[in-house]
Amino acid sequence: MKKFNFRKVLDGLTASSPVGSSGGGSGSGAGGGSVHPGGTAGAAGTPREEIQETLTSDYFQICKTVRHGFPYLPTALAFDPVQKILAIGTRTGAIRILGRPGVDCYCQHESGAAVLQLQFLINEGALVSACADDALHLWNLRQKRPAVLHSLKFNRERITYCHLPFQSKWLYVGTERGNTHIVNIESFILSGYVIMWNKAIELSTKTHPGPVVHLSDSPRDEGKLLIGYENGTIVFWDLRSKRADLRAYYDEAIHSVAWHHEGKQFMCSHSDGSLTLWNLKSPNRPFQTTIPHGKVQRDGKKPESCKPILKVEYKTCKNSEPFVIFSGGLSYDKPCRRPSLTIMHGKAITVLEMDHPIVDFLTLCETPYPNEFQEPYAVVVLLEKDLIVVDLTQSNFPIFENPYPIDIHESPVTCTEYFADCPPDLIPVLYSVGAKHKKQGYSNKEWPISGGAWNLGAQTYPEIIITGHADGSVKFWDASAITLQMLYKLKTSKVFEKQKVGEGKATAEIVEEDPFAVQMMYWCPESRIFCVAGVSAYVIVYKFSKHEVNTEIASLEVRLQCEVEDIITPEPETNPPFPDASSQLPSLKSLSGSTNTVACEGTMKDSIPCLSVKARPVRMPPGYQADLVIQLVWVDGEPPQQITSLAVNSAYGLVAFGNCNGLAVVDFMQKTVLLSMGTLDLYGSSDPYQRQPRSPRKSRQFAADHVNGHCTSPTSQSCSSGKRLSSADVSRANRRGPGRPPFRKAQSAACMEISLPVTTEENRENSFSRSRSSSVSSIDRDSKEAITALYFMESFARKNDSAVSSCLWVGTGLGMVIILSLNLPASDDLRQSEPVMVSPSGTVLTLKGAVLTFACLDCMGTLTHRPYEVWRDPHSADDGDKTRKRKLVMHSPSSSQDMGDHQFAVICSEKQAKVFSLPSQTCLYVHNITETSFLLRADVVTLCNSVCLACFCANGHIMTLSLPSLRPLLDINYLPVTDMRIARTFCFTNEGQALYLSSPTEIQRLTYSQEMCDNLQDMLGDLFTPVETPEAQNRGFLKGLFGGSGQAFDREELFGEATAGKASRSLAQHIPGSGGIEGVRGAAGGVIGDLTRARIALDERGQKLGELDERTASMMASAEAFSKHAHEVMLKYKDKKWYQF
């Protein structure tokens, strides 16, 4: 028996009424989505065949997959010279571990405290992190997702410096009080051995030496520890005898210390820009002092002081002079010089200037042993916003070409798009045109950070991420198999003339900073048509070609301005149409960055675009080439409003875009404007608000003619004539008065700005945000009706239609959906000459909240692909004079015969989702998604050969709904919108994937697919691979006899509990981590996983056996004591008689 629901029939009769219970703060509700699949599609309510929906909640689970880009706000750097992996710590408590391309791991400290220092346990698959909350953490890197094995939280002292000697299990920890503690890495327990500051310095010293800034053991003798204090005191401490072997003092503060590999000399860097070289035999004063960048005084005095040298490294070579590498130390008289790294090799001094401040650097050497010739071959330089590796083996010190995608933030990201399962030929094609723009001059050596292992995994479909940037550039990235590699970069600003310096006030720009910022992107992978909307109210249509061309750029100007009478006033008695200017102006900066005032000197701006398109022929390299530039113009001193929606269709040859004033449709094949109309005029007689102008005007009649008839532009009006092709002649009477704001704020979902805290350093990234008032639940009474969503599709435009036709679906900020009919020439031959007609169909559908997205399902519930033209090279040499016939795909995957006599239209607004049956326009299903919040993003996506609606809510919830029945399948409060950046860049794609910008420099990818969560372990790279530790060089008999300490140094004997005793419990607290056996269970299987499990089990067994051994020894000692005591008692009373007791 067919399932039939009476409530569903009521839904069909009252399509605009809200159905179902509304969701609360969690962002969901049962709604109409709880009814059975299928339903009434015809106008008479005849029951249809049920659609079997295959997706259930078991198909969904959310987890983060991988993070790409440069670590945001880096603070620390470490390198494992045997495993060849690099670790970077950040101010937000994150650690990124990098190896060969594809090996990129992100982990986060739960506390979120800044990472002060990182230390690898070299070739052990472990990492120690010291954080600003005075905690030490031991990370297990032998699993694909590193976890903390142990933590040690210091309670009374602040950590300032850590040092872990090679192949040692004892970590030296220096503190702010000047004390040095020792931690056992295996158990993460503090040793009782402490080097107190007052024991280290001379008794006669009256001042505190300051915090410990350096710790290192002597390369010559592991039993000697060099301690550097901030005030310039250096102590050489004998760990065995627990006293200072020597002390050295210098007037300037110490920043870092570096040993010569023989252990007889060490070098210090100081706060006055000096380097001092000390000899252990004569520690009274340095035997060499230099200020590398200081000017030599004429009278022979000491060179003038320079900026502090923050770090120095002293590396020896067997066959050449040693390398002295340091950061900072520049002269004070050149304040504008960029941060630099200085490399001193022999008498040659090379200064490498950097684009950003230096955070840290490390010299990569051939050997991990500190007592051998170091043979440095590269320097890794961590900058605030970049990572650079310098090749030391070549005299000109070239840099290595970086294989990581760390330049995502080269210019701030303003928008993103994500395409999974796109045509497989796109990635090699984009790479081939992008590879031609590669820079020259890199080192020819292999990238030195080459550790870890990575394989392709089971996921093989191609994925592409597109990022739009503040400087107008667009980057295409290959994102297949959770990696990221840049394919191609497009500079959209090249179509415009450069603004000359000093012309700022004379131009018509509406944005002073970053006028070319990309605001929206639209890409059709099948036809390779790409479209960009910029912050300066322009749209550029790009076509892809493998051939270079030299041609003029076609351009159009569109006049799109809303009449003053069109301002919506639901309650005209109480709400004036023009609010106070002071209440409007604060929103302008968030809408479009810093803005010029309109009341400029001279004449009022009218009919001029914001930017100037190049008029001369332009050379366009292979790749994306500008086919048409469309610009909105100023109207009577009113600037054009930013574009809020964009859609392109290659089969129709049309591009549509809208803003808070109205809609424009342009034929990019004939280069003509088909429609330029205010939002109110699109309704015609179907306006549900029945808004009437306050005074009859000539322009109103003109607009009505366009609505009742059709909107066309004669093909003779070509763009090359320079004539503005505007289809609406707007009257100039009754314009903005002296008290009205220069900008009209669009309070709509497509122009949204959430009231969120924005930090100062991120203002630039957030200046391209869509603007929205903090009152997110209702339409502002003084707002215009913005166009918020556009969708070209083959659909039933009217109720009585018997066949599908070409349509443009238009969604507005008031939740209105208007269907426009597109009348295209019947044959392809006439497409270039016959005009295209655009006319309102009279169909208007309604939802709550601004419309976000559309989709179309066929009668079987399968997603209908938008019509497209199969790509062909517009400049192909084999074309000749004959134009090839366009190959169009109108219905996919079904053919037109299989479309059936009805289809489903899926429409999602920021408040609810509805499914309509067409052509009857019956509302089959309604789901009220949220009442207290609003959706930021909604996409209809494919997953497991089925289709669903994925939503991201401003309250942090990620939801999926089944289609067409809108059953809730997933609802998880997963991602709090703590920043506008997340709202602006979040996007879903097919196969259960999504992404957003987690910081100004990083892309975070996540999956909502259970299958991908299950397979994630196989896709991630291995950080640890079994590698033999290189053998130490044979030192030779004489060197062994005279070159160092004769006796071996046993740290266990010295620092162990038996000798040193236990540390005070109040000094530090041990916290077990989650990375023990439980963490390993979730790690990668195979031999390494088994060995790791066995090793931890053995450690635990050994610990228990040790405890048992201690208890046995204690019992034996107790038994011996008892035996001795009993023997003494026996001897005492042995010779006494009974009466003597």
Is the pLDDT assigned to residue 534 strictly greater than 50?
yes
In this structure, of 248-257, 468-477, 825-834, 1109-1118, the range with the lowest mean pLDDT score is 1109-1118
Percent of the chain with pLDDT over 90: 54
What is the b/e burial string over 422-437, where b = at least 16 CB atoms within 10 angstroms of the residue's CB? beeebbebbeebbeee
Give me the pLDDT at residue 210, please: 92
Give me the pLDDT at residue 881, please: 45
Q: What does the pLDDT look like over 987-1026, one tens digit per residue?
A: 999 999 999 999 999 999 999 999 999 988 888 889 999 9
> What's the number of CA atoms in the CB half-sphere (13 Å) around residue 265?
14
The arithmetic mean of pLDDT across residues 8-24, rounded, is 39
CA torsion angle 808 813 817 823 (round to 10): -20
**Beta carbons within 8 Å of 33's beta carbon, 6+ residues apart:** 20, 925, 926, 927, 961, 962, 965, 966, 967, 968
The arithmetic mean of pLDDT across residues 804-829, rounded, is 92
Give me the pLDDT at residue 617, please: 92
Selected residue with higher pLDDT from 390 and 27: 390
Give me the pLDDT at residue 1106, please: 66
CA torsion angle 610 615 620 623 (round to 10): 40
**Beta carbons within 8 Å of 89's beta carbon, 6+ residues apart:** 71, 74, 75, 76, 77, 95, 114, 115, 116, 117, 118, 129
Q: What does the pLDDT look like over 424-450, one tens digit per residue?
A: 899 999 999 987 666 778 999 999 999
In this structure, of 394-398, 742-746, 883-887, 1117-1121, the range with the lowest mean pLDDT score is 742-746
- Give the containing element (helix H, strand E) for 9: helix 6-13
Q: How confident is residue 689, by pLDDT bands cut at 50, 70 and 90?
A: low
CA atoms of 197 and 1090, how far apart (whole Å): 45
Give me the pLDDT at residue 757, please: 39
Q: How confident is residue 60, by pLDDT bands cut at 50, 70 and 90?
A: very high
In this structure, of 76-85, 153-162, 1032-1041, the range with the lowest mean pLDDT score is 1032-1041
DSSP string computed for 359-399: EEEEEEES-S-TTS---EEEEEEEESS-EEEEESSSTT-PB
Give me the pLDDT at residue 960, please: 97
**What pTM did the predictor assign?**
0.81
Q: What does the pLDDT look like over 869-906, one tens digit per residue?
A: 899 888 876 654 445 678 888 865 444 445 567 899 99
Distances (CA, A) of 483 to 100, 103, 145, 388, 490: 12, 9, 16, 20, 21
CA atoms of 23 and 926, how far apart (whole Å): 12
Is the omega angle on the peptide bond into residue 570 within 30 degrees of 0, that is, cis?
Answer: no
Give me the pLDDT at residue 501, please: 57
Give me the pLDDT at residue 300, please: 65
Q: What does the pLDDT look like over 562-576, one tens digit per residue?
A: 654 444 444 433 333
Give me the pLDDT at residue 1032, please: 84
In this structure, of 288-292, 341-345, 640-644, 876-880, the range with the lowest mean pLDDT score is 876-880
Q: How confident is residue 457, by pLDDT bands cut at 50, 70 and 90?
A: low
Give me the pLDDT at residue 15, please: 39
Give me the pLDDT at residue 877, please: 66
Most confidently modeled range among 451-465, 567-581, 749-763:
451-465
Give me the pLDDT at residue 1024, please: 94
Is the pLDDT assigned to residue 983 strictly greater than 50?
yes
Is the pLDDT assigned to residue 715 strictly greater than 90?
no
Q: What does the pLDDT look like over 238-274, one tens digit per residue?
A: 999 999 999 999 999 999 999 999 999 999 999 999 9
Average pLDDT, the chain: 80
Q: How confident is residue 178, by pLDDT bands cut at 50, 70 and 90?
A: very high
Q: How confident is residue 956, by pLDDT bands cut at 50, 70 and 90?
A: very high
Q: How confident is residue 34, by pLDDT bands cut at 50, 70 and 90?
A: very low
The arithmetic mean of pLDDT across residues 8-15, rounded, is 40
Give me the pLDDT at residue 695, please: 36
CA atoms of 1070 and 668, how far apart (whole Å): 68
Q: How confident is residue 1035, by pLDDT bands cut at 50, 70 and 90?
A: low
Most confidently modeled range among 271-285, 463-477, 827-841, 1037-1051:
463-477
Question: Residue 270: beta bridge partners?
Answer: 254
> What's the number of CA atoms in the CB half-sphere (13 Å) around residue 789?
29
**Residue 373: count of CB within 10 angstroms of its CB:** 18
Is the pLDDT assigned to residue 692 strictly greater than 60?
no
Give me the pLDDT at residue 885, please: 78
Q: How confident is residue 920, by pLDDT bands cut at 50, 70 and 90?
A: very high
Give me the pLDDT at residue 1090, please: 58
Give me the pLDDT at residue 1130, please: 77
Q: How confident is residue 740, by pLDDT bands cut at 50, 70 and 90?
A: very low
Give me the pLDDT at residue 1134, please: 72
Give me the pLDDT at residue 844, please: 92
Q: Edge-to-edge, what's the strand order for the sheet holding 922-928?
A: 851-857, 903-909, 912-918, 922-928
